[in-house]
Structure formats: structure tokens, C-alpha cells
Amino acid sequence: MDLETIKSTLEANVPDCRLEVIVNPSPSGQHSLLVDAEHAFAVASFLRSSAGFNYCSNVTGIDWPAKELSEKVKVKKIVDGVETEIDEVSKTMIPGCLEVVYHLFSMSEKIGPLPLRMRTQDRAEGVHLPSLTPVWRSAELQEREVFDLFGVVFDGHPDLRRLLMWDEFEDHPMRRDYVNPDDYEYEPTAHDDVLQRANQHRSTVGER
């Protein structure tokens, strides 16, 4: 079953769901399906119950920081009384988000992987997504890992708490803007290494 067929089947059976095929141009050609968070649970439930995708092998997170896209555009302007077409740079700010990818298989039909993607509203307050653990139990620990390392909050998860970092840890180490602390309170490092990192940190702050 190809991805376009799966998309059409889902659209016919999950009303108002918003789906987009994300094309992978690499030699693997492993294209994926992006689903809106509002209908993700219904889409996942259909994929398992009616499309046969009964196994979730892997759940991973991706951090997409905000970025600025620059593009040259032709603009008509009046220069010395003459209409002239000149090049200008158009800048567009693309907001950041967090993404979660589920790799799905149909064990009976030997189909897969089907990468199913969800994206948060942003990287700050709008980081909630529905947990798919009630659909695929194998997602439980992996969603906890994504919560721990990226900061995605999975609504409906049966036991959402940190998995790798300690409870008092306040950051998410797999985010691209994460900065390592000068030292770790649970395992102090050698003095010279700490001093070197601290000096680098001071110089970076001073440059700002």
C-alpha cells in the first residue's frame, strides 16, 4: 500500500483530518505522513485497527528552531522618473516547532515502515501533543524519552515523567539551543576542565 493510498483512505475515514506527504529526496525514498495534532489519535487508531499497522518500532524527536529564509525577488520601482525592475531580498521568518516521528509496521502484511509525524505549535508554550501510547504500548518509554530530552508534553500518557535525566533537571538536552552547564552537581569534574568551560562561557556572554 503506497503512501498516497494510505492518505486517501485516512481522509475518507477520519473526517477533517489534515494530512501531508513529506517527500524524502534521499536514495532511501522513505517518505512520511504528517498529521495535525487534533486528529492524530483518531488517525493512529484507524491505522492500527483498520489498516493493520499494529507495531510501533521507534519514536523519536526533532527540534526545528525558528529560521529566517532569504529570497531574491524582482521589484518594480521608480528611479529618476523611470520605472525600473530591481532585485531585492525578501526575508521570511519560519517559526520553530518540535516534531515527533513514529515508525509503524504491519507485521501481518509485512508493510513498513510508515513514518507518522506530529508537530507542536511552537517550542515554548505550545508543546502539547496527544500520546499514542494507548494505541501502541511500545511508545510508552519512547514518548517519555522525547518528553525528557526535547520537552514535548504528551497529553494522555499513562506515566509521563523523566526517563534519562533526574527529576530536578530543568532543561531538555537534545534541543539545538541547549547549552551544557559549566559543571554538574551530581558528578563534579576536574577543576581545570570546569575552569576552561567557565572562561569560555564568560567570553561568550561578554561578546553579547
* Domains of the chain, residue spans: 3-64+97-168, 178-208
Reported pTM: 0.80
Q: What is the pLDDT of residue 137?
A: 96
Per-residue pLDDT tens over the stretch 22-57: 998 888 878 999 999 999 999 999 999 999 999 999
Q: Which residues of the chain have pLDDT under 70?
A: 1, 182-191, 193-194, 197-198, 201-208
Query: Which CATH code fits 3-64+97-168?
Result: 3.30.460.80
What is the SS3 string spanning the chain?
CCHHHHHHHHHHHCCCCCEEEECCCCCCCCCEEEECHHHHHHHHHHHHHCCCCCEEEEEEEEEECCEEEEEEEEEEEEECCEEEEEEEEEEEEECCEEEEEEEEEECCCCEEEEEEEEECCCCCCCCEEECCCCCCHHHHHHHHHHHHHHCCEEECCCCCCCCCCCCCCCCCCCCCCCCCCCCCCCCCCCHHHHHHHHHHHHHHHHHC
Per-residue pLDDT tens over the stretch 190-200: 567 667 766 77
Q: What is the pLDDT of residue 93?
A: 83
